[in-house]
């Protein structure tokens, strides 16, 4: 997957360094917020694990606390 992103010219940062859990990839894309990316993927019909939904809701809650 990472090679595919590089091959089509998408710039990203791999979070967590080289020591991550098997099967887990965390990427950041300059100029894009994670929630925006998730929303667009959702509109395109991609399905996400329920755990991810919990994480998004937790982030929303934390953002509300900061305001």
Q: What would the pLDDT profile of 4-59 be if each residue is shown by its tens digit?
A: 888 888 888 888 877 777 777 788 888 888 888 877 877 887 766 655 666 666 66
Buried b (16+ CB within 10 A) or exposed e, 25-60: eeeeeeeeeeeeebeeeeeeeeeeeeeeeeebeeee
Query: How many domains does one find in the chain?
Result: 2
Q: Do 22 and 44 sit in the same domain of this protein?
A: no
Provide the pLDDT for residue 66: 63
Provide the pLDDT for residue 53: 62
Q: Do 40 and 56 sit in the same domain of this protein?
A: yes
Q: Do 45 and 59 sit in the same domain of this protein?
A: yes
Q: pTM for this one?
A: 0.53
Residue 2's DSSP bridge partners are none
Interatomic CA distance for residues 16 and 18, integer angstroms: 7
Provide the pLDDT for residue 58: 64
Q: Which domain, by its residues, includes 53?
A: 34-67
Q: Do 47 and 25 sit in the same domain of this protein?
A: no
Q: Do 20 and 38 sit in the same domain of this protein?
A: no
Question: Please, which pLDDT band fits residue 62 given cuts at 50, 70 and 90?
Answer: low
């Amino acid at each position: 997957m990472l090679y595919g992103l590089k091959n089509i010219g998408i710039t990203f940062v791999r979070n967590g360094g080289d020591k991550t859990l098997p099967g887990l990839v965390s990427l950041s894309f300059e100029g894009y917020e994670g929630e925006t990316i998730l929303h667009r993927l959702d509109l395109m019909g991609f399905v996400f694990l329920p755990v991810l939904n919990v994480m998004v809701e937790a982030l929303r809650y934390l953002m509300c606390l900061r305001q």
